[in-house]
């Protein structure tokens, strides 16, 4: 088997979110009165992919760290200067005018026949497509070719994943579903590992080591990316310094953990939300499981204005509405039955 640390993986997300790239969005979603923007999916999928690659031992280069859109030519220059081993780009598809929902559905994986490593790009794309086909419940369409710069002009194998259709109502809801986003990222990581001949390390709690201030490396980077998801502003440099230590302390306090600044199993479990359904949530709860639940509820089209991990009145209203529409006891408390329904729901149907 190959050694993961010998490879530098280039991670890229299409378009921008601040401000959002014009036109790259779903039609207006019913019940919540807004669109989901493509980069709301792309960016989170990229970060989940980066963390999965780091866990597997790869070095990773973020080709597009900015929130705003960056030209394809700039991304190509960055990838080539960094001498990445391969490039993975996350995207979401659309069909038609983009102003209304239609029946086009499924995921596609692309490579360019003009890439200097076109054969390898095809092989990489096929491995990624195979893993997505095994792990996703959506339609597997095809591996295809397209001549765009991030595929054609980089000096390494390159693949682009169109993970679904923004213009398909059910697949539009999946864009913000944390379970689906995580599944896409892990599947793509599995495909990269298969292509490079590197063992895949599963997203399981026992694969995350205890780390503390003074440590460095891939798992510190994972910690920093995760803390940023919870509102902390850290540079993912892989160094467990004072700012990271303080962020860990604050996260532990907010999640009713022992605030010692040491990232062991309990803190990793809260950060990763590997088993959020084990926690009973109610008005006043404030932790990572609340944030996970809020993301699910928003993806199911229950209005959640602030994804902040705080179970307040708005979140309780959304929970009660979900319980009512899923024949559950309407008590606003998220226990085993509500969690089970949340994990198995496809969300609100299109009222049109």
Please write the tens of the pLDDT for every residue from 118-177: 999 999 999 999 999 999 999 999 999 999 999 999 999 999 999 999 999 999 999 999
Q: What is the pLDDT of residue 70?
A: 96
Could you report the per-residue pLDDT of 234-257, keeping only the tens digit for each? 999 999 999 999 999 999 999 999
Confidence bin at 342 (pLDDT 50/70/90): very high
Strands in 140-145's sheet, in edge-to-edge order, are 59-62, 8-13, 86-93, 158-165, 107-111, 140-145
Check if 205-272 and 276-344 are the same fold: yes
> Domain extents for the chain?
4-196, 205-272, 276-344
Reduced to 3 states (helix: H, G, I; strand: E, B; else coil), residue 115 is coil
Please give the CATH topology (third level) of the domain spanning 205-272: Muramoyl-pentapeptide Carboxypeptidase; domain 1 (1.10.101)
pTM (whole model) above 0.85: yes
| b (16+ CB within 10 A) / e for 45-75 | bbbbbbbbbbbbbbbbbbbbeeeebbebeeb
Quick one: 4-196 is in which CATH superfamily?
Answer: Zn-dependent exopeptidases (3.40.630.40)
Residue (of 44, 51, 80) closest to 63 by Cα position: 80
Average pLDDT over residues 61-90: 98
Quick one: 276-344 is in which CATH superfamily?
Answer: PGBD-like superfamily/PGBD (1.10.101.10)
Confidence bin at 261 (pLDDT 50/70/90): very high
Q: What is the pLDDT of residue 193?
A: 98
Residue (of 168, 167, 175, 205) closest to 296 by Cα position: 175
* Helix 313-325 / helix 336-344 crossing angle, nearest 10 deg: 70
Question: What's the chain's length in residues?
Answer: 352
Q: Would you say 34 and 111 are in contact if contact means Cβ atoms under 8 Å apart? A: no
Q: 42 is written with which tokens? A: 């792309």
Instruction: Tell me: cis bond preceding 19? Omega within 30 of 0 counts.
Output: yes
């Amino acid at each position: 088997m190959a050694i993961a640390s010998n490879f530098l993986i280039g991670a890229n997300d299409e378009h921008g979110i601040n401000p959002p790239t014009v036109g790259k969005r779903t039609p207006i979603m019913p019940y919540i009165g807004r669109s989901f923007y493509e980069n709301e999916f792309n960016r989170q999928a990229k970060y989940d992919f980066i963390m999965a690659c780091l866990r597997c031992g790869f070095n990773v280069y973020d080709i597009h760290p900015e929130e705003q859109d960056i030209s394809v030519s700039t991304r190509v220059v960055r990838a080539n200067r960094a001498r990445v081993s391969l490039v993975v780009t996350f995207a979401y598809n659309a069909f038609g005018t983009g102003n209304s929902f239609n029946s086009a559905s499924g995921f596609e994986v692309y490579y360019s026949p003009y890439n200097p490593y076109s054969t390898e790009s095809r092989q990489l794309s096929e491995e990624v497509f195979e893993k997505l086909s095994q792990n996703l419940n959506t339609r597997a369409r095809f591996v295809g070719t397209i001549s765009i710069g991030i595929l054609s002009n980089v000096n390494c194998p390159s693949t682009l994943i169109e993970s679904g259709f923004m213009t398909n109502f059910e697949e539009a809801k999946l864009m913000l579903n944390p379970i689906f986003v995580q599944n896409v990222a892990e599947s793509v990581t599995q495909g990269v590992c298969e292509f490079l001949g590197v063992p895949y390390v599963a997203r399981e709690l026992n694969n995350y080591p205890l780390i503390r201030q003074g440590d460095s490396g891939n798992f510190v980077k994972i910690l920093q990316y995760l803390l940023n998801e919870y509102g902390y502003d850290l540079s993912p440099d892989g160094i467990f310094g004072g700012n990271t230590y303080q962020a860990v302390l604050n996260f532990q306090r907010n999640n009713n953990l022992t605030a010692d600044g040491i990232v062991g199993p309990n803190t990793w479990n809260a950060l990763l939300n590997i088993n959020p359904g084990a926690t009973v949530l109610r008005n006043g709860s404030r932790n990572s499981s609340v944030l996970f639940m809020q993301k699910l509820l928003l993806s199911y089209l229950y209005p959640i204005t602030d994804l902040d991990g705080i179970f307040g009145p708005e979140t309780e209203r959304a929970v009660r509405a979900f319980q009512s529409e899923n024949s559950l006891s309407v008590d606003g408390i998220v226990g085993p039955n509500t969690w089970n329904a949340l994990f198995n729901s496809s969300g609100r149907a299109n009222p049109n």
